[in-house]
């Protein structure tokens, strides 16, 4: 029901009957609210009942607009503020041709990405209030701007209620907003960090990837520490720069934003720090350095890596890039492969290969990919379970193997390699009951590699989306958008294509 409401048809019926929309699929009862406010004196009001002149968007977009309210969804607020930084991505989720005046019937629509498809969510504009004020997401400075409150309501409907948004992950929201692929890193163990981590982050920023970070803690109640940061709280990364200084050379710097719009870092390079006198005025203007209580602040990379423990990155698919995002020749984007698959008991649900079911591992699906780039590439593999609401049953992961030399063409009639032809290539992500697990794989030699998605236990059924993003230095081809193709269709790729997938069983493949 949440996907199957026809916005245009409903709007025509509202015109005919001269009525405002009341959504039968998301009724205004306490059970859709958060436990933090359930049972209180909540009034559901339409925008015209909240203010004299409601506006959908007032005076353009800003990442500083959003205020969290009484819902534990800082992860959603941080993701929505990040989305607002990219107008072309924002308008795909939030159609801007909506208002409270012309042809207004109390109905609004938003779009979210769900497992390879964009779905439209229709809502009415009745919003939960207390004392005449919105209790959840709102504009911090302009109470009559209401896109963010309606966007939050649509996202709550997508997942079955506001209460489902109490606690979540920054990267999950941005995947839903962009269709990107997420990558999570634990950076708390400073002895195991890749030596080129800043270079990875800088390159991700140049490729328009979105990033967020956090410090481990109680995610139901944030804890302030003496340096101004909060444990158990989601921050967004809004810039990564190399800055010029008078006496310190070029410094690695990261700009971070607290979605609360307050409570900032108090250490070196914080707002108002005398260290900024070491930076030429022109450089400060380029970096948009300002001394204001807006929740955004700069940190030296060394301080950032010392304090934060979790990093989440969402990489965009090629079809998400607008022309102006591609205009900078230093920015690269990804080649992508996409497969829809499933684990079926007795057929393809083999489990992880632990005793006593080791022989069942060969039942799992296989997804070969051929890398022909001589100087190697970085590839991110993502396995996403297709779930309803936030309910996750299976612990999942995947294995990456390389086909032994001389056996690349020995694929069987079932589109699978004999396991004797395969050699384990790298460590796998930990099996976890998460919606998405991902891994960055560095491939330095050409060859055929095989990704094998698996549940931890055998016989567990479920559907999944497997995606592979690969990029290479020196690759300047920009994909024109990924289109779904049946396995029997001819796949047209550019002549310089070095990243090829093979049809696997009855899977659907998308390549660009």
Separation CA 510–CA 483 (nearest Å): 6
For 311, other C-beta atoms within 10 Å of its C-beta total 23
Separation CA 326–CA 98 (nearest Å): 28
pLDDT for the residue 486:
30
pLDDT for the residue 500:
56
| Tens-place pLDDT, residues 68-109 | 888 889 999 999 999 998 898 999 999 999 999 999 999 999
Q: Which of 137, 213, 233, 394 is catalytic?
A: 233
Separation CA 485–CA 508 (nearest Å): 6
| pLDDT over threshold 50, residue 216 | yes
Closest of 115, 114, 98 to residue 157, by C-alpha: 114
Active site residue 74: yes
Q: Which of 73, 172, 258, 394 is catalytic?
A: 258
Strands (E), 444-482: 447-455, 462-471
Active site residue 233: yes
Same topology between domain 181-314 and domain 334-511: no
> Are 509 and 501 in contact, with CB atoms under 8 Å apart?
yes
pLDDT for the residue 136:
93
Q: What CATH fold (topology level) applies to the domain 334-511?
A: Jelly Rolls (2.60.120)
Residues 6 or more apart from 395 whose CB is under 8 A from it?
Answer: 431, 432, 433, 455, 456, 457
pLDDT for the residue 376:
74
The CA–CA distances, whole Å, from 143 to 70, 90, 222 equal: 16, 20, 26
Average per-residue pLDDT for the chain: 85
Q: Give residue limits of the domains in the chain.
A: 7-168, 181-314, 334-511
Predicted TM-score (pTM) of this structure: 0.85
| Tens-place pLDDT, residues 442-501 | 898 899 999 999 999 999 999 999 999 887 554 432 222 222 223 332 322 333 444 555
Separation CA 19–CA 95 (nearest Å): 22
pLDDT for the residue 491:
28
Torsional sign, CA 431, 436, 442, 445:
positive
Closest of 333, 327, 442 to residue 381, by C-alpha: 442
| Tens-place pLDDT, residues 368-427 | 999 887 777 888 999 999 987 666 779 999 999 999 999 999 999 888 999 999 999 988
| pLDDT over threshold 90, residue 56 | yes
Active site residue 307: no
| Tens-place pLDDT, residues 292-304 | 878 899 999 999 9
- At which residue do the structure tokens 């301080």 appear? 303
Mean pLDDT of 166-171: 90
Separation CA 446–CA 355 (nearest Å): 33
The H or E element containing residue 383 is strand 377-385
pLDDT for the residue 482:
24
Q: What is the CATH number of domain 181-314?
A: 3.90.70.10
DSSP string, 65-103: -EE--SSS-HHHHHHHHHHTT-HHHHHHHS-S---SSTT
Decide: residue 445, CB within 10 A, 0-12 exposed, 13-18 middle, 19+ buried: exposed
| Tens-place pLDDT, residues 313-358 | 999 876 655 545 444 434 455 788 999 999 999 999 999 999 999 9
| Tens-place pLDDT, residues 139-168 | 988 889 999 999 999 999 999 899 889 888
Closest of 413, 242, 218, 207 to residue 314, by C-alpha: 207
pLDDT for the residue 262:
81
pLDDT for the residue 415:
86
């Amino acid at each position: 029901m949440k996907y199957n409401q026809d916005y245009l048809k409903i709007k025509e019926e509202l015109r005919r009957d001269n009525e405002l929309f009341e959504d039968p699929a998301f009724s205004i009862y306490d059970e859709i609210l958060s436990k933090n406010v359930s049972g209180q004196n909540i009034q559901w009001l339409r925008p015209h009942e909240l203010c004299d002149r409601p506006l959908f968007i007032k005076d353009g977009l800003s990442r500083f607009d959003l205020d969290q309210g009484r819902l534990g969804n800082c992860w959603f607020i941080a993701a929505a503020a990040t989305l607002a930084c990219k107008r072309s991505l924002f308008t795909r989720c939030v159609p801007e041709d909506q208002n409270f005046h012309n042809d207004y019937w109390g109905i609004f629509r938003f779009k979210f990405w769900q497992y390879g498809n964009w779905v439209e969510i229709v809502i009415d504009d009745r919003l939960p209030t207390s004392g005449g004020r919105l209790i959840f997401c709102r504009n911090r400075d302009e109470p009559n701007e209401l896109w963010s409150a309606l966007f939050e309501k649509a996202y709550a409907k997508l997942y079955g209620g506001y209460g489902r948004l109490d606690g979540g992950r920054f990267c999950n929201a941005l995947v839903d907003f962009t269709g990107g692929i997420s990558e999570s890193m634990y950076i708390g163990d400073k002895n195991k960090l890749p030596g080129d981590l800043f270079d990875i982050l800088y390159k991700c920023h140049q490729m328009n990837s979105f990033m967020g970070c956090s410090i481990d803690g109680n995610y139901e109640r944030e804890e302030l520490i003496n340096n101004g940061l909060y444990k158990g709280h989601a921050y967004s990364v809004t810039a990564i720069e190399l800055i010029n200084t008078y006496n310190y050379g070029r410094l690695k710097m990261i700009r971070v934003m607290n979605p609360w719009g307050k409570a900032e870092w108090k250490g070196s390079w914080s707002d108002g720090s005398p260290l900024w006198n070491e930076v030429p005025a022109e450089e400060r203007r380029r970096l948009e350095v300002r001394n204001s209580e807006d929740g955004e602040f700069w940190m030296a990379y060394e301080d950032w890596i010392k304090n934060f423990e979790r990093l989440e990155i969402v990489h965009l698919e090629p079809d998400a890039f607008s022309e102006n995002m591609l205009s900078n020749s230093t920015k690269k984007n990804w080649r992508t492969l996409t497969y829809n698959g499933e684990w079926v008991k007795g057929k393809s649900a083999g489990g992880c290969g632990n005793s006593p079911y080791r022989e069942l591992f060969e039942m799992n699906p296989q997804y070969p990919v051929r890398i022909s780039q001589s100087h190697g590439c970085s590839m991110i593999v993502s396995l996403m379970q297709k779930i309803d609401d936030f309910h996750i049953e299976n612990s999942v992961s995947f294995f990456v193997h390389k086909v032994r030399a001389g056996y690349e063409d020995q694929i069987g009639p079932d589109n699978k390699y004999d396991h004797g032809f395969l050699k384990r290539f790298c460590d796998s992500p930990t099996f976890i009951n998460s919606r998405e697990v991902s891994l960055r794989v560095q491939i330095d030699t050409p060859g055929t590699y095989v990704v094998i998605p698996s549940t931890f236990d055998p016989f567990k059924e479920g559907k999944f989306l497997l995606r592979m993003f690969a990029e290479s230095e020196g690759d300047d081809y920009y994909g024109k958008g990924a289109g779904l193709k049946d396995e029997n269709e001819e796949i047209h790729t550019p002549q310089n294509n070095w990243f090829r997938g093979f049809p696997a069983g009855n899977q659907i493949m998308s390549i660009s």
